[in-house]
């Protein structure tokens, strides 16, 4: 399960397709750390670089984010970053849907959360 936090959006001067060094928070947003992301947290991220975009999961460590791409405007491959992208934490549809019937009947959509014997 990924870590989701509120209003974490930063600039990055990183170029290429590798690990991202996270920069300063965008105006009116927080850094990943200020939003509560800690080392080894896996977050769902979105990168926007001009009109290009990438969605994936990444492991946060000391102000950097590794990238495992799930989809992108680059044929689902990592974007070749230009040095002027923004990165933010975001939920995607898969974070809100899961089968609670073992997958054998219709799918019921629920928010991703722990349920312990009926207490949510």
- pLDDT tens for 105-115 read 455 455 555 44
Distance of alpha carbon 99 from alpha carbon 107, whole angstroms: 5
Contact 47, 59 (CB under 8 A): no
- For residue 97, the model assigns a pLDDT of 72
Distance of alpha carbon 114 from alpha carbon 76, whole angstroms: 30
On average, the pLDDT of the chain sits at 88
Please state the pTM of the whole predicted model.
0.81
Q: Look up residue 120 and give its two tokens.
A: 């949510």
Cα 52 from chain centroid (whole Å): 16
């Amino acid at each position: 399960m990924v870590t989701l936090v509120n209003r974490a959006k930063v600039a990055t001067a990183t170029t290429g397709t590798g690990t991202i060094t996270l920069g300063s928070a965008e105006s009116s947003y927080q850094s990943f750390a200020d939003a509560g992301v800690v080392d080894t947290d896996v977050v769902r991220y979105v990168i926007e670089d001009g009109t290009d975009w990438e969605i994936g999961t990444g492991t946060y460590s000391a102000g950097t984010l590794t990238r495992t791409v799930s989809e992108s405007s680059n044929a689902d491959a990592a974007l070749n970053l230009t040095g002027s992208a923004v990165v933010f934490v975001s939920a995607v549809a898969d974070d809100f849907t899961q089968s609670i019937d073992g997958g054998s009947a219709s799918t019921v959509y629920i928010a991703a959360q722990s349920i312990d014997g009926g207490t949510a």
